[in-house]
């Protein structure tokens, strides 16, 4: 295929884009034009109805005035007709104004026809006989004029309420429709139909098939107008099959008047403007395409084959995945040269993007590994805590039973201590996996860090000097102690890695106050009183670019396998979640200083709870339903509860527990594990139990709680949770607290 042919095909393909855009624009314009036209039809119908309502109100006011005119208070028929004739000349919208005797006979009228009419068969007359102070309406064809009118009748009564006569004004619907028709667009038309489907005013269009006076009651158009479902629009075919779209005015006033007002328009006219713009755009596009094709043909004829060949060769290599391909110098001047430079720049950009993608894949792999580790940690922690619950409980029993035997009692205590240490290890694993919520306490941060001093010194090693500076009279702060320890350990580990050849690390804790000029790593000011924890090292430091990204997840300057890039991110998130702030200062060769700020709390620290062995273990006699899937834990809990005096019912899963709850058994409290097999967790069991028995007390237990206990039923009741492993006193105390809760 020749170069010119290729370029022409390329141009044609390129023109598809504007062609598609033209098509999209046409669709958008067509849709908006149709929507606007339909809205205009509906608005026009409602405007006509609103104007008719005004005319009816005006007629009512006219009737109220005429009812008090002395010229009508006469039995002189000629004088009465002359007076009404003069009034009608002032109000040309009426074909006639007349008075009707209570027996239904015509007394006088503005047309002075001196005819005898019996109007007792008219609906408006029958309604007016029983009306008081209001007008009655009926669209009909006038018997004197034969014109479609809206009869507006008003009963004139004496002070005692006796009917004197009925005033009737025949509002000219044909003239009313013609006036509005002149205001509408050229192709819009008005149709007026009474409640029986009789055409009162018909469109002048050749497409309309039913003349005035005929009925359209059996047509879809009339059913649309009278439909209570309030469909917005209706499409109906005309005489020659040309579809028209109709909108109907819908309001109580139109329904009461027995009149249906519709405005229609040919369907093809709704999109005429959009079609016209489409033709114009296509013409412009065609001219532009011809000019472009001619220019490309001329450019190809002049001779750019060799340069385009270089570009094609470059593109072929890129297409085959060779991102190292480049177009060698020299480049020609003009657009081709710029295009070659751009090709080279694009190749370089793609090469960088590929490297970035490879790096991102590595980070994704690491993230997936961490996620898998978190899932594994959570599962292990759950099973491990079940084991520890049994071990710790039985160790307590052994310690009590073997109290006279000091040596054996010490062994039992050692088992309990080991179990508690295992519990601490499990909590640390869960904190690492971020599978438990913060549990802030009012603590002295200085004392907490002093307790960690041996661990931190062992972590740093002998080659790094470590100094602790703690102020006196430190304020209390609300902090999760476990997360604080993890954050401090992360900072110390980062500092250790920044000092491979040794150095000095300083941990400082002091009271401080931040002003509006002191900002955190996000540049946000957090004025107030804080307890500051600063970790300063004399390591390699960071450049401004690295420091600016230090808190991004997965960003790390360490070698592969030496760090995840999550340490500072976790520390930053912990400080933010604790309501505090974080600052960092670092320079290459001058070390790094990271400061954490935790808000001061002014409430006093609650008094320490006396040791378990110094408190009386609360007992009870209520009935407790225990749901636990682990056989050992279930057996241990059953024995403990019976020893505490409770009546116990044990079930291995949620389904069996629900069967008990649906029965007549009297149960005071549901004590259920959270994580259980069978498709229903303890939280769902608690929710369903709350619905079955609203007064039932509920206590949850779990060795792996990722979220705090939330409301379990529609009442918004909160549920307490007892974390595994637990001692007998913890179990007894939580049971009593749950049973006494409101």
Q: Are 662 and 707 in contact (CB under 8 A)?
A: no
How many percent of the chain have pLDDT more than 70?
A: 81
What local confidence, expressed as pLDDT, does residue 682 receive?
A: 84
pLDDT surpassing 70 at residue 374: no
252 vs 543: CA distance, rounded Å: 76
Burial of 169 by CB count in 10 Å (0-12 exposed, 13-18 middle, 19+ buried)?
Answer: buried
Mean pLDDT over the full length of the chain: 79
What local confidence, expressed as pLDDT, does residue 567 receive?
A: 62
Q: Which residue has tokens 């009461």?
A: 256
Categorize the per-residue pLDDT at 329 as very low, low, confident or very high, splitting at 50, 70 and 90. confident
Mean pLDDT value across residues 126-152: 87
Q: What is the CATH class of 623-740? A: alpha beta
Domain span(s) for CATH 3.30.450.20 in the chain: 3-175, 184-270
Mean pLDDT value across residues 50-76: 87
700 vs 674: CA distance, rounded Å: 6
pLDDT surpassing 90 at residue 647: yes
pLDDT surpassing 60 at residue 596: yes
What local confidence, expressed as pLDDT, does residue 534 receive?
A: 92
262 vs 2: which has the higher pLDDT: 262
What local confidence, expressed as pLDDT, does residue 418 receive?
A: 75
Q: Which residues contact 134 (CB under 8 A, 6 or more apart)?
A: 60, 154
3-state helix, strand, coil in the chain (%, to 5): 50, 20, 30
Residue (of 62, 290, 38) closest to 156 by Cα position: 62
- Which ranges of 542-697 would DSSP assign to H, the alpha helix? 544-549, 567-577, 631-643, 654-662, 682-692
22 vs 459: which has the higher pLDDT: 459
Counting every residue written for the chain, the total comes to 742
Q: Are 689 and 719 in contact (CB under 8 A)?
A: no
Mean pLDDT value across residues 135-160: 88
What local confidence, expressed as pLDDT, does residue 556 receive?
A: 61
Q: What would the two tokens of residue 455 be?
A: 């661990």
155 vs 142: CA distance, rounded Å: 19
Q: Which residues contact 75 (CB under 8 A, 6 or more apart)?
A: none
What local confidence, expressed as pLDDT, does residue 370 receive?
A: 47
According to DSSP, the residues that pair with 259 across neighbouring strands are: 194
76 vs 523: CA distance, rounded Å: 96
What local confidence, expressed as pLDDT, does residue 36 receive?
A: 79
18 vs 24: CA distance, rounded Å: 10
What local confidence, expressed as pLDDT, does residue 610 receive?
A: 41
pLDDT surpassing 80 at residue 306: no
Q: Are 437 and 491 in contact (CB under 8 A)?
A: no
Domain span(s) for CATH 3.30.565.10 in the chain: 437-599
81 vs 98: CA distance, rounded Å: 8
Level-2 CATH architecture, domain 3-175:
2-Layer Sandwich (3.30)
| Fold classified for 184-270 | Beta-Lactamase (3.30.450)
What local confidence, expressed as pLDDT, does residue 307 receive?
A: 67
Q: What would the two tokens of residue 250 be?
A: 């819908």
pLDDT surpassing 80 at residue 24: no
Multiple choice CATH, 437-599, 3.20.20.410, 3.30.365.10, 1.10.645.10, 3.30.565.10? 3.30.565.10
87 vs 144: which has the higher pLDDT: 87
Helix H or strand E segment including 530: strand 528-537
Q: Are 87 and 109 in contact (CB under 8 A)?
A: no
Question: Which DSSP symbol is given to 195?
Answer: T
251 vs 52: CA distance, rounded Å: 12
pLDDT tens profile 152-208: 999 999 888 899 899 999 899 889 888 888 888 767 888 899 888 899 898 887 778
152 vs 174: CA distance, rounded Å: 15
What local confidence, expressed as pLDDT, does residue 624 receive?
A: 93
What local confidence, expressed as pLDDT, does residue 662 receive?
A: 92
Q: Are 238 and 207 in contact (CB under 8 A)?
A: yes
Question: Which DSSP symbol is given to 10?
Answer: H
Q: Which residues contact 604 (CB under 8 A, 6 or more apart)?
A: 476
Instruction: Kindly report the number of other CB atoms within 10 A of residue 661's CB atom.
Output: 19
pLDDT surpassing 70 at residue 364: no
Helix H or strand E segment including 537: strand 528-537
Q: Are 313 and 326 in contact (CB under 8 A)?
A: no
**Helix and strand counts by DSSP (H, E) for the chain:** 18, 22
Q: Are 701 and 731 in contact (CB under 8 A)?
A: no
According to DSSP, the residues that pair with 470 across neighbouring strands are: 509
Choose from 277-281, 468-472, 516-520 the range with maximum mean pLDDT: 468-472
pLDDT tens profile 245-304: 888 887 776 677 788 888 888 877 777 766 777 777 778 877 777 777 777 666 666 556
Q: If DSSP codes are grouped into helix, strand and coil, which group holds residue 355?
A: helix
395 vs 414: CA distance, rounded Å: 8
Burial of 571 by CB count in 10 Å (0-12 exposed, 13-18 middle, 19+ buried)?
Answer: buried
Domain span(s) for CATH 3.40.50.2300 in the chain: 623-740
545 vs 540: CA distance, rounded Å: 15
What local confidence, expressed as pLDDT, does residue 449 receive?
A: 86
What local confidence, expressed as pLDDT, does residue 41 receive?
A: 83
What local confidence, expressed as pLDDT, does residue 711 receive?
A: 44
550 vs 231: which has the higher pLDDT: 231
Query: What are the Cα distances from residue 333, in Å, to 12, 330, 341?
Result: 26, 9, 11
């Amino acid at each position: 295929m020749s170069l010119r042919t290729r370029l022409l095909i390329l141009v044609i393909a390129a023109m598809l884009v504007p062609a598609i855009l033209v098509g999209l624009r046409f669709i958008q314009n067509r849709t908006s034009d149709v929507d606007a036209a339909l809205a205009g039809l509906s608005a026009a119908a409602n405007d006509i109805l609103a104007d008719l309502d005004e005319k009816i109100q005006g007629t009512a006011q006219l009737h109220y005035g005429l009812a008090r005119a002395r010229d009508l208070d006469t039995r002189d028929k000629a004088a009465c007709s002359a007076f009404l004739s003069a009034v009608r000349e002032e109000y040309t919208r009426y074909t006639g104004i007349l008075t009707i005797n209570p027996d239904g006979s015509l007394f006088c009228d503005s047309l002075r026809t001196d005819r005898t009419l019996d109007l007792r068969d008219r609906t408006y007359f029958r309604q007016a006989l029983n009306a008081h102070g209001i007008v009655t309406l009926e669209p009909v064809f006038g018997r004197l004029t034969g014109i479609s009118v809206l009869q507006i009748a008003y009963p004139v009564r004496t002070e005692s309420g006796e009917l004197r006569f009925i005033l009737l004004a025949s509002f000219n619907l044909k003239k009313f429709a013609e006036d509005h028709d002149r205001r509408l667009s050229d192709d819009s038309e008005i149709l007026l139909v009474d409640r029986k489907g009789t055409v009162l005013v018909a469109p002048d269009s050749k497409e309309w098939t039913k003349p005035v006076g005929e009925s359209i009651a059996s047509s879809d158009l009339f059913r649309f107008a009278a439909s209570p479902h309030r469909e917005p629009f209706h499409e109906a075919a005309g005489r020659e099959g040309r579809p028209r779209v109709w909108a109907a005015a819908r309001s109580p006033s139109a329904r009461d008047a027995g009149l249906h007002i519709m405005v229609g328009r040919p369907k093809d006219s709704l999109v005429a403007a959009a079609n016209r713009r489409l033709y114009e755009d296509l013409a412009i596009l065609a001219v532009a395409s011809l000019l472009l094709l001619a220019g490309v043909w001329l450019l190809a004829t002049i001779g750019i084959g060799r340069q385009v060949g270089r570009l094609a060769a470059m593109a072929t290599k890129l297409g085959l995945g060779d991102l190292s391909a480049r177009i060698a110098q020299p480049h020609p001047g003009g657009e081709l040269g710029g295009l070659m430079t751009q090709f080279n720049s694009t190749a370089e950009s793609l090469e960088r993007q590929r490297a970035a993608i490879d790096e991102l894949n590595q980070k994704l792999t690491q993230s997936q590994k961490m996620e898998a580790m978190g899932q594994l940690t959570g599962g292990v922690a759950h099973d491990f805590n079940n084991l520890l619950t049994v071990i710790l409980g039985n160790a307590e029993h052994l310690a009590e039973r073997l109290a006279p035997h000091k040596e054996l009692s010490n062994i039992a205590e050692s088992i309990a201590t080991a179990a508690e240490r295992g519990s601490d290890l499990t909590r640390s694993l869960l904190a690492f996996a971020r599978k438990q919520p913060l549990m802030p306490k009012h603590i002295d941060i200085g004392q907490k860090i002093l307790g960690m001093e041996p661990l931190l010194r062992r972590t740093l090693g002998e080659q790094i000097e470590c100094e602790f500076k703690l102020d006196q009279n430190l304020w209390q702060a609300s902090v999760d102690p476990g997360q604080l320890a993890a954050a401090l350990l992360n900072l110390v580990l980062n500092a250790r890695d920044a000092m491979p050849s040794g150095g000095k690390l300083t941990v400082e804790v002091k009271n401080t106050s931040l002003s509006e000029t002191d900002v955190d790593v996000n540049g946000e000011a957090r004025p107030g009183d804080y307890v500051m924890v600063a970790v300063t090292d004399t390591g390699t430091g960071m450049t401004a670019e690295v420091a600016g990204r230090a808190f991004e997840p997965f960003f790390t300057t360490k070698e592969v396998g030496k760090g995840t890039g999550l340490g500072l991110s976790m520390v930053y998130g912990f400080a933010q979640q604790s309501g505090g702030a974080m600052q960092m200062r670092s320079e290459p060769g001058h070390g790094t200083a990271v400061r954490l700020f935790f808000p001061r709390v002014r409430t006093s620290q609650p008094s320490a709870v006396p040791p378990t062995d110094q408190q009386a273990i609360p007992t009870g006699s209520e009935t407790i339903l225990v749901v636990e899937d682990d056989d050992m834990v279930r057996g241990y809990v059953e024995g403990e509860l019976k020893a505490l005096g409770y009546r116990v019912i044990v079930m291995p899963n949620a389904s069996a527990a629900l069967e008990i709850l649906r029965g007549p058994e009297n149960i005071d409290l549901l004590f259920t594990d959270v994580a259980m097999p069978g498709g229903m967790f303890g939280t769902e069991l608690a929710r369903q139990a709350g619905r079955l028995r609203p007064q039932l007390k509920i206590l949850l237990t779990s060795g792996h709680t990722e979220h705090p206990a939330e409301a379990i039923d529609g009442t918004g009741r909160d549920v307490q949770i007892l974390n595994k492993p637990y001692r007998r006193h913890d179990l007894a105390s939580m049971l009593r607290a749950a049973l006494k809760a409101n």
